[in-house]
Amino acid sequence: MNNTGKTRFQLSAMALAVITSITANANEQTAKDTEIERVEVLGSNIKRAQVADTLPITVMSSDDIAATGAATGEELLRSIPQIGEMAFNNERAIGGVNDARGDVSSINLRGLGTGNTLTLLNGRRLVLHPGTQTENFVPVSTVNANTLPVSGLKRVEVLRDGAAAIYGSDAVAGVVNYVLKDDYEGSRFSVNHGTSQGTELSQTSISGATGLSFNDDKTHLTMSLSLYDRKGMPASDRDYAASQDRREYAGLPEEYIGDTQLDNRSTSSPWGEFSTDTLKTFHIQPNTMSGCVVELGGGLCADKGSLSRDMRYDRALEQSMTSDVQRANFYGYLNHDLDNDITLFGEAIYYHAETQRWREQAGNLTSQRFTISPDAYYNPFGETVTMRRYRPVDTGLRDIQVKDTSFRVLTGLSGYYQDWDWESAVLYSEAKTHDKTYNRIDANAFFDAVNSTDAATAYNIFNGADPANLNSGDATPNSQAVIDQFLVNIDRESKTSLALMDFKVSNAALFELGDGEVGMASGVEFRRETYSDDRDPLLDGSKAFFDKNSGEMLSESGVLGSSNTPDSNGSRNVFSAYVEFVAPLLMDRAFAKNLELQLAARYENFSDVGSVTKPKVALSWMPSDWLQVRAAYAEGFRAPNLPQVVEQGISRSNTRYDPITDSSYGITEIRGGNKNLKPEDDTNTSFGLVLMPFDNITVTADWWNIEQDGVVGILNSQTHLLYDSLLRSQGGSNPNVIRGDDNEVIHVNNQYDNLSPREIEGVDFSVFYDLKTDFGNFDFKVNAARLIRFEQQPDDITAQVLAAQQAGDPAVPESIVITGAGDLIQQNGRPEWRAYASMRFKRDQWSVGTTANYVSDFYDTSITTSDGEPLPIDSFTTINLYGDYRFKDAGWLSKTRIRVGVRNIADEKPPIADESFGYFSSVHSNRGRYFYFDISKSF
């Protein structure tokens, strides 16, 4: 990180010390008792004195959060089994500058997909992170789970049920509500430090909080500040990530050992691949290797054909796996009692993070193949040469630095009028990302250097790499003066904002009905969402790449190795209104201690994609004190995110198998947003049991089912190629696949659309057991989630390709797996089981605890045997242990807690997979055995 970032971190640390000390002596009084008459819980807007658990909700208290040992929001979410794979994560490294990078982590309940979970802070929406990533090849957005400090959380609430009728768009899989501490009295200061065994990775966080009351206790102010610093991890620190050639990795099943599908080294190498009319395709190699057809001097020669496997470039040797991060989070909450039972409240949040990571220098895309003129200074062939594949390693690594900032300000009033609770608030929130990559290559300037006739400015593209190490480095670099001619820094600035105004009322006793009182809530909300993405002129099409020898425009991207993405921006206004009723139908009857009905409906109107109205009904029946039966039916929706609507001309390049040429190579796909997209519809059904045989034992089981229709998606470019092959075998062709004279694909045209429906089904289980003994108090918790079904119906084209494969049509090889359709359970990050268990023991000032995370096995479909069997990914279990001691009546140590812990005691490695760093980072962790200590002091 640069010196500016370090200075900012040091100044923030000084500010933290001031905040935690200014009220240390002013808060010796105990908090006054406050009578809470009516409360609001997640899943209902009706404030009542008592609330039946009509809906399935998981709550993690501050003690539960501390027990996980989590240092970041991402690590905390991984301890909730209902959270699916986290596609936005720090170890994802496949999308380059076009991906969301930096300090970002996604939220994905049920594994339904990023963007299907509504995330709230203190009951109101959070702004979306500015960056997007692709899931099923469409851009998705998320709230950044790292923007809130783990140490400042009062609790995390997870509503495991569709809630669009209560909260609006995005609540398809459920709702995650972060609740920050707003009633803190006194001051607290804590330090946490941890290290990952056998790696460079270490994490340090410093946090403090203070709270005080003044104005005769009419005003209360809570403030907290958290600082976090992480030293990252290079890929070389882990054996499964240290090389992209994993053919001989010891953890592989026997039938996959030696499989070339596991060799992910790049054919784009400093040992360049070229072609001429005379030699056709050839590559550069040391002349000590067989096959030389042209001697080039300097121990080099040209050999016909493509680069041999043994000479492929191993990118892992030059990659950061986990970024360096510096982060600051500030939170303030003010509560002031006015006259007439009216309360003024406000909150302010600020987040800033800087990350840094290294990546290998990029090679050219297929669309960026250019010619080298016969008179170029370093052209030894005497004829025009076409550069097919080349990676200019001698230019050095890419240095990626990302700055993320966000803030949120909110003010509101709440009060009572007769039997009505009312509340109104206004908030504005904004998030910005500045992604800057140092040491990129201007493709036009690189062309000029390669084609230069002047020795002082010419770049030698034919000088090979390192004969002593064929897979990395370059022992014959060009001069720095030549290299500096085409090095550039690339910027991307993205921004999102959320402005919201709402007004809501609640009456817990609107009127009497039978044995109880009917509660009601109603409200209106207006919000405005904006999105903008401003790319560097070399990326947005402003400065395209031309082959000046032929005059042909090769790529709209002027950056070597990156696809172009035009700038985009959009906004929408959303008006919504809702009403909710809760009616206790029966109470204290022989067959019903309580029978309660919840009815809700919500209307939302979007300025760009239309309007929807969705209902919800839930029923809770307690036939006795120890048994509860609950059920719910809800209709929901998810509006397409703004990038899915407004983005146009997005170019992405991925390696695909082309049946026509019988080869795999980088293929450009041009994707486009769709202003005619409609909101996705869904139906959410659930049924559950709650057993309470004793006061200290609770057992729950909840079955749920989600049916989605009109899911926004795009046809996989691999499917497009197979469909093109199928049609060509029948005398036609796929008009979306554009080919050149040599039959290689120039690009594939694609557009986002509302595609076929899907159905997801599962069961949640939990057990809570508190045991108080003379020896001490025990607390047991188990939370488990089982995925039963994840069925995606194929679109018409995919269905035709699948049918042809099943019929044995040679035009569509059965060995090419069609992903994204059919039964997707146990595929690519969708395990059947996830579970989290904890046990805590407390005696006097001592406390010890253990937790365990379990993820069952699944399959990696990116690699298959000759019989089409995908690579099995083993189950993954980590066990954590901690112990702490709280000092009492110990002088200056009083109110001090010291905790030490170990996460992943057994140092379990993540199961090997055919992924960027050799494992599924969206599901598993690379931390290994992790030691940490935590010390906190209250004043």
Collect all residues with Cβ–Cβ distance below 8 Å to 923 and sequence separation of at least 6.
Answer: 85, 86, 829, 831, 855, 876
Position 12 scores a pLDDT of: 42
Q: What is the per-residue DSSP string for 661-694?
A: TTEEEEEEEEE---TT--PEEEEEEEEEEEEEEE
Q: Is the model more confident about 470 or about 672? A: 470
* Contact indicator for 347, 409 with CB cutoff of 8 Å: yes
Position 821 scores a pLDDT of: 76
* Contact indicator for 150, 71 with CB cutoff of 8 Å: yes
Q: Which one-letter DSSP state was computed for residue 838?
A: E
Give the pair of three-digit tokens for residue 376: 């170029």
* 144 CB burial (10 A radius; 0-12, 13-18, 19+): buried
In this predicted structure, the answer to whether residue 24 has a pLDDT above a threshold of 70 is no
Q: List pLDDT tens digits, range 874-905.
A: 999 999 999 999 998 888 899 999 999 999 99
Q: Which one-letter DSSP state was computed for residue 704?
A: E
Which of 173-187, 269-283, 607-621 has the highest average model confidence (pLDDT)?
A: 269-283
In this predicted structure, the answer to whether residue 7 has a pLDDT above a threshold of 60 is no
- Residue 787, H or E segment: strand 777-792
In this predicted structure, the answer to whether residue 461 has a pLDDT above a threshold of 80 is yes
Measure the CA angle with vertex 100, ends 99 and 105; round to 5°.
Answer: 135
Position 93 scores a pLDDT of: 66
> Rounded to whole angstroms, how far apart are CA atoms 528 and 570?
11
- Nearest residue to 430 (alpha-carbon basis) of 446, 410, 416, 448: 410
In this predicted structure, the answer to whether residue 50 has a pLDDT above a threshold of 60 is no
Could you tell me where the DSSP H helices lie in 353-466? 443-451
* Contact indicator for 538, 558 with CB cutoff of 8 Å: yes
> Rounded to whole angstroms, how far apart are CA atoms 750 and 768?
50
Torsion angles phi and psi, residue 96, rounded to 5: 60, -150
Position 148 scores a pLDDT of: 87
Q: List pLDDT tens digits, range 226-249.
A: 999 999 999 999 999 999 999 999
Tokens 């897979």 — which residue? 471
* 661 CB burial (10 A radius; 0-12, 13-18, 19+): middle
Position 362 scores a pLDDT of: 94
pLDDT band at 755 (very low <50, low <70, confident <90, very high): confident
In this predicted structure, the answer to whether residue 205 has a pLDDT above a threshold of 90 is yes
Strand locations in 793-825 (E): 822-823
Q: List pLDDT tens digits, range 777-820.
A: 999 999 999 999 999 888 888 889 999 999 999 999 988 877 77
b/e code 19-45 from CB counts within 10 Å (16+ = b): bbeebbeebeeeeeeeeeebebbbbbb
> Rounded to whole angstroms, how far apart are CA atoms 437 and 800?
43
Give the pair of three-digit tokens for residue 792: 């995606």
Position 866 scores a pLDDT of: 79
Torsion angles phi and psi, residue 316, rounded to 5: -60, -25
Collect all residues with Cβ–Cβ distance below 8 Å to 789 and sequence separation of at least 6.
Answer: 759, 760, 761, 762, 823, 825
Measuring CA to CA, how many Å separate 782 from each of 26, 572, 854, 894, 906? 41, 42, 11, 33, 21
pLDDT band at 40 (very low <50, low <70, confident <90, very high): low
Q: List pLDDT tens digits, range 488-527.
A: 999 999 999 999 999 999 998 899 887 788 999 999 999 9
Q: Which residues is 629 bridged to in the sheet? A: 621, 689
> CA torsion 910→153→229→210, rounded to 10°?
-160
> Rounded to whole angstroms, how far apart are CA atoms 223 and 221?
7
In this predicted structure, the answer to whether residue 38 has a pLDDT above a threshold of 60 is no
Q: List pLDDT tens digits, range 78-90.
A: 999 999 888 888 8
Mapped onto helix, strand or coil, the DSSP state of residue 150 is helix
Q: β-strands 233-234, 219-231: how paired?
A: unpaired
> Rounded to whole angstroms, how far apart are CA atoms 440 and 397?
9
Collect all residues with Cβ–Cβ distance below 8 Å to 3 and sequence separation of at least 6.
Answer: none
* Contact indicator for 395, 361 with CB cutoff of 8 Å: yes
* 574 CB burial (10 A radius; 0-12, 13-18, 19+): buried
- Nearest residue to 796 (alpha-carbon basis) of 761, 828, 760, 753: 753
b/e code 664-678 from CB counts within 10 Å (16+ = b): ebbbbbbbebbeebb
pLDDT band at 761 (very low <50, low <70, confident <90, very high): very high
Measuring CA to CA, how many Å separate 928 from each of 238, 239, 277, 358? 9, 12, 53, 22
Q: Mean pLDDT over all residues of the chain?
A: 90
Give the pair of three-digit tokens for residue 928: 């290994």
CA atoms within 13 A on the CB side of 113: 30
Tokens 């023991």 — which residue? 841
> Rounded to whole angstroms, how far apart are CA atoms 283 and 415?
77
Over residues 894-919, mean pLDDT: 95
Position 39 scores a pLDDT of: 59
Q: List pLDDT tens digits, range 841-852.
A: 999 999 999 999
Largest Cα–Cα separation, the chain: 99
Torsion angles phi and psi, residue 80, rounded to 5: -110, 110
> Rounded to whole angstroms, how far apart are CA atoms 438 and 130?
21
Looking at residue 616, its amino acid is K
- Residue 725, H or E segment: helix 717-729
Handedness of CA 295, 296, 301, 304 (dihedral sign): negative
Over residues 101-114, mean pLDDT: 90
Q: β-strands 758-772, 870-873: how paired?
A: unpaired
In this predicted structure, the answer to whether residue 466 has a pLDDT above a threshold of 50 is yes
> Rounded to whole angstroms, how far apart are CA atoms 902 and 906?
10
* Contact indicator for 747, 667 with CB cutoff of 8 Å: yes
Over residues 61-90, mean pLDDT: 89
> Rounded to whole angstroms, how far apart are CA atoms 108 and 77?
9
Q: Which residues is 179 bridged to in the sheet? A: 155
Over residues 202-211, mean pLDDT: 95
Over residues 58-71, mean pLDDT: 89
Q: List pLDDT tens digits, range 698-747.
A: 999 999 999 999 888 888 888 999 999 999 999 999 999 999 888 888 88
Q: List pLDDT tens digits, range 317-338.
A: 899 999 999 999 999 999 999 9
Over residues 634-639, mean pLDDT: 91
In this predicted structure, the answer to whether residue 8 has a pLDDT above a threshold of 60 is no
The least confident of 29-33, 516-520, 832-836 is 29-33
Torsion angles phi and psi, residue 724, rounded to 5: -65, -45
Position 537 scores a pLDDT of: 96
> CA torsion 46→48→54→59, rounded to 10°?
90
Handedness of CA 922, 923, 926, 930 (dihedral sign): positive
Give the pair of three-digit tokens for residue 536: 């560097």
Over residues 373-392, mean pLDDT: 97
Q: Is the model more confident about 210 or about 92? A: 210
Q: β-strands 324-337, 592-606: how paired?
A: unpaired
* 524 CB burial (10 A radius; 0-12, 13-18, 19+): middle
Tokens 């990180």 — which residue? 1
In this predicted structure, the answer to whether residue 854 has a pLDDT above a threshold of 60 is yes
Over residues 145-163, mean pLDDT: 89
Q: Is the model more confident about 521 or about 3? A: 521
Position 367 scores a pLDDT of: 86
Give the pair of three-digit tokens for residue 139: 């851009």
Looking at residue 546, its amino acid is F
Q: What is the per-residue DSSP string for 530-595?
A: EEEEEE-TTTTTSS-EEETTTTEEEES--BTT------EEEEEEEEEEEEEEEEEEEEEETTEEEE
